[in-house]
Every structure is written in structure tokens, then in C-alpha cells.
Amino acid sequence: MRFSLIHRIPGRVRLRAAKPFNVQTAVMLADGLELLDGVEGVRVNPRTGSVLLLYTDEEALPRAYAFLSGAAPLPGSALSVCPPKKDERPSLLPLLRYLFLRPLLPLPLSVCSALAGAAPFLKRCFHSLRHGRLDVEALDGTAIAISLLRGDFRTASLLTLLLGFGDALERYTQKKSLENLASHLALQADRLWVRRGGKECFIPAQDLKENDLVIVRSGTAIPVDGVVAAGTASVNEASMTGEPLGVMRTEGASVYAGTVVESGEIFIRPTSIGKDTRMQQIVRFIEHTEQKKAGIQGRFERLADRAVPFTFALAALVFVFTRSLTRAASVLLVDYSCALRLATPLAILAAMNEGVRRKVMVKGGRFLESLSAVDTVIFDKTGTLTQSHPHVARIVPAEGYHADEVLRLSACLEEHFPHPVARAVVHCAEARRLHHAEEHTEVEYVVAHGIASHWQGRRVLLGSRHYVSQDEGVDLSAMRGAVTELSRQGYSLLYLAIDGRPAGIIAMEDPLRPESAALIRQLQAMGIPHVLMLTGDDLRTASAVASRLGIREYHAQVLPEDKARIVQELKAQGRTVLMLGDGINDSPALSAADVGVTLRDGADLAREVADVLLMGGSPGGLITALELGRRTMRRIHTDFLAIMALNSAFLLGSLLGILQPGLSAVLHNLTTLGVSLNAMRPKLPQGE
């Protein structure tokens, strides 16, 4: 089996197989790698073909690579002998054999059958004890071994049957939950820019050919796997590596679909298009999602680990005082760990699936936990509280320029960027039948400020007043009257300047979403005490919008770094902050917040860094996300109480000799199954 290096930092390396493998192969790989000197930890994911290796000695890496490549395999560990199973659904056939066939077997065959069934559990028990681990495998194997030593082969067969069915049910449930989640999340660009024959074309994704050069600019997702043919860019690869900082990619470097260009421009020669790329995106999402484990899940798993030695100690005390192996085995089979480890991740996976069905995509369990604790919600105004489809209301040219010229040149610059304001300018030019063929040179995008380029040998600027006037020093006094009048009417303004002089103003009408006021009221009704609005507009416009929406706290003329600073200040006050924004300029604040939320139509970079994506295209989905987080945490705590209460009752029954090992195993498995089914029930009312 061939593995490729995906990510490496000191002490940690991730490898991926050319294709997924089955559970047996994963167990074999984990067992083999754990035996290597210098290896501290191993995590193998058969669904994604991923191997995560934690190491303390650099010399461990060559040994690991040799083992994975087959140069130094363990005895009997040929990877090709374990073809993936088509269906891992739990089967009732072993139960039927136990009920109807086992009683008919002669004693020698019954003994052999019991030993054969117990062998895998005894092997896992021995492996755990050899490595000094007192875990669930050690508990189960010890209980089965006691039954075998007592000659109670009937009980041993029943235990292996129940434990095997429980393992199969757990694997199948988690596998189906992840598959259902992934089936909704294949990312695919509809259209993309390519260079063909020296010209730039905007084509449907399905028309992409291998000899095309895909053009990706600032703030845009990379739609294909490929190699950089020209250009330089900083690429955010968090979806693939989990590292939040951008990495520079220049000519000859590999780039991957689903990552995002933060700044710069690159031309990519595709190496994988269509189905293969989309499948890799699904794999990366699953891998990324499983890393986002909720803190409560980690706490319960640590609690489960600590409970195992306690169970062993209690079983030993029972044997010392009663001299009854039966009672000791019964105690061993009442285990808190299985249910604690299974119920919480299933509740989280089920909630994420439910969210996707309701058009709310939560990218990990810890974000559900954060959603349940949110007490501060921050909105960016443009595109979230206002409609995502603004339109050009007026064009005011400066002296010496015509309105069509201002609009045509602005559309020429804006067509490369996915923000709603940019799309509005381009659509307006198309509606007026203004041809805006590319006549400018390389476009420079300054996040949250504007665009700079050269046109016919002249420097062109398009953007906010702060960018054009303060950063670039353009004197706008000649258009003061128009600026005052347009601002008084509540328009958002774009300024166009050529060679240091104003060329015109584009007034954008950004009407409020009809659901925005109701959304603010719902948040207040949910008991969220702090709702803020951030906007780059002037104070007059910000005050008018906040008043119409019922928002008491707002900040005007805010820059991207200001948004992130405000988020950090609120978090420093002990608040749990949710930020909702949809633009490239919102990305720093989305990353800084406890929960970053964006819309389906948001910029690619915003969708990449956000923790929750509202796929319905409306900020009203925020209420669903918050309710889902709250109800999921309540369900997890309810399941925890049920697990502790029921298993404690079973444990008491075992101590008193009321429950035999077989009945203990039945009740324990029924409890695990019951809390798992409860964890997977819908969290939100079906009518919502």
C-alpha cells in the first residue's frame, strides 16, 4: 500500500494511503506502528486512509515509513489480504447460531466454538495489558477469561456474542453518521476563471480541461488540485492541515482544492479535476471535523478512562471478600466507559447531520458546545443584516468623466472578486450593455479597503473613502457636496480615482433584509444579552440602520483589524462571542470569535475560516444553529446522568450477587444501545 506525506510539523506527521482501507487493516497498522521505538501515539482512520503519527525521536520516522511501505512488515501483515467489506451492518446470524445451533453441538465442539469466539477479545486484552493499558478491551477480555477458567463456556459464548454485536453496532453507527454527513458536503465550484490561448475566460467547472490554466485571486477558493504554473500567493490550507496561517505557494508548488488564496494571484495547472477532487474535499472535511472534538467529549472520555482501573479494583475487592469469580466477572462487565465514549460523539454527529438537513453546517463538535454558551452576537452589516444582493443606485462622475465610463472601469476591476458589492457593480454594467473587457494590468486587492491597478498607463483606485482618501492621499474635496448628499440618503459609497484625482462615486443601495429585525428580537428573546453591529459606513448611516433593527450597540467606520480587536476585547471580558459576517474583510474577526458564522453566498475565504455555514442563504439560520447547540449539550448531559445512574444500579446488583455475568452484559449493552439511540434522536422539533 502506498502512502503520501500530507502534513508534517516537529513531533507530528500525517500520511494518507492511495485509497481507504478496512478496519482490520487499520488495527494492524496501529498495532505495528505502536511497537516502533520513538513512536508516542498513533491514530488510524480507515474511512479516509489517514495515519497520524506522534513521535519523540526523529529516527522513528524512517522506521515508520519502512513499515508502511512494506519493507519491514509484521508477520502475517500483508496489507493486500484484507479487502474492504461492502457492508459492516451488524448481523443477527451469530445470535441465531447461539440460540438454535449451539445447544445441538457436542461438548468438544461447543468448547472449541467458545474458544474461537473469545480469541479476538483475549488477544486485544493481552495487547492492552502488555502495553500497560487498563482499558475497555482489558475489562472485556478479563471477564471472558474468568468465564473460560470456570468452565462456563455458555456464558463465555454469550459474552463474546454481545460484545461483538456491540462493537459492530458502534462501528456501523459511526460510519453511517459520518457518511451521511459527508454526502452533503462535497464542495464544487460552478464557474471558474481560466487562461486559454492567452485570453482569460469564465467557464463552467465541467468544461475545465487538463491543459487549461486556472486563475485564482485573493479571497477565492482553489477549485482543483494542481501545480502552480505562475504567480505567487499566500494560501490558507486550514481545511487540509489544520494550521491557520497562510503558506506561500510559488511556481512548481502543489495546491489543493478547497484551500483558499488569502492574497496574491496564481495560475494553476490542474492535476485532478471533477470527481477525484470532490472526493478529496469530502475526505478532508471528515478529517477536519473529527479533529474538532467537543471539550465535553474529551472530558467524558477522560472520565471513562479513569473509571476502568476503578472497575478492576472493585472486581478484585469483590473476589477477595466473596471468593466468587462469578461476581467478579459480573462487576467487570458493568462498564461506564463504553456508553460514555459512544453516546457523546454520536450525539454530536447526529446534531451535525440534523444541522445539514436544516441547512446549517457546523464544522465540529466543539463549535456546537460553543454555540450553546454564546452570550454575545456580533453582526457585520453589509450582506448579513442587509440584503446579499445590493444594487447600484446612482453614479456621480467627477468633472471630465462620464457616468458610463466610471461604471465600465469599476466593473472591469470588480469582476475578479466574489463580494456582493462587486457583483452588483458588474451586473449594473452588464444591464447597461457596457463592454468592460480587461484593459488593466495585474489587480491588487487590499482587504476591506479596495482595489488598485493600472489602466492605459494610469494608476486606478476603487474602494472605500478611507482607502482612497486617507491611505492613498486622494483629495475628495471637489466632490464634498455629492458625498454629503449621498451619505444623508443612507447610501454606501465606492470611490473611483485615476492618477490621484477623483473620477466618480458609485452609490450602493443596501436595503435591510426583511427578516433582520425579527432575528434581533429572537436573539433577545433567547436571553442573549449583547447584540452588536459592526460596519464600515459612517456614523450617520450606522445609527439609522441600528435604530431600525433595534440594536443598541454598534461601531461605525470599522476596519478589519478593528473587528478582530473588538472580538478579542469582548472575549477578554469573559464573553462567548459569535461573529456573523460574509466578506473577505470579516475573516480576521470570524477566526478570532469563539464561533465564526457566515452565509452560503459569502466570500470563499469567509466560508473557509468560519465554523458554521448557513447554507440557506439567510441569517435566520443562526437561530437554528444556536438552538441546535443548546439542545445537543442538554441531550449529552441527560445521557451522562442516565449512564451513571443505570450502570451504578447494575454494579450494585453485581456486588450483591443479583446479576450474573450474562445478565450484566445484556443490561450493559442495552444501556449503551439505549443512550446511543437517544443521542441520535432529533434535537429540534420536526415542525421547525
Q: Considering Cα of 425, then 428, then 430, then 433, what sign does the dihedral take?
A: negative
Round to the nearest angstrom and report the end-to-end CA distance of the chain.
Answer: 48
Residue 53 CB-half CA count within 13 A: 35
* H helix and E strand count, the chain: 23, 24
What are the backbone dihedrals phi and psi of residue 520, each rounded to the nearest 5 degrees, phi first?
-65, -40
Quickly list DSSP for 82-110. Answer: -PPPS-----SHHHHIIIIIGGGS-HHHH
Q: What angle do CA 226, 232, 235 make, to 5 degrees?
A: 65
Cell numbers describing residue 300: 467524558
Q: Position 112: which residue type? A: C
CA–CA distance, 50 with 54 (Å, rounded to integer) = 13
Answer for the pair 561, 424: CB distance below 8 angstroms, yes or no. Answer: no
Round to whole Å and give the CA distance between 126 and 381.
61
- Strand 501-509 relative to strand 492-498: parallel, antiparallel, unpaired? antiparallel
C-alpha to C-alpha distance for 466 and 450, rounded to whole angstroms: 9
> Which of 682, 687, 1, 677 lies closest to 339 in space, CA to CA?
677
Whose CA is closest to 91, among 158, 176, 168, 177?
A: 168
For 114, the 3-state DSSP assignment is helix
Give dist(CA 382, CA 535) in Å, integer.
Answer: 7
The number of residues in the chain equals 688
- Residue 367: φ, ψ to 5°: -80, -30
265 three-class SS: strand
Cα 372 to Cα 101, 520, 622, 658, distances in angstroms: 51, 18, 12, 42
Reported as half-sphere exposure (CB side, CA atoms, 13 A), residue 233 has a value of: 32
Residues with catalytic function: 380
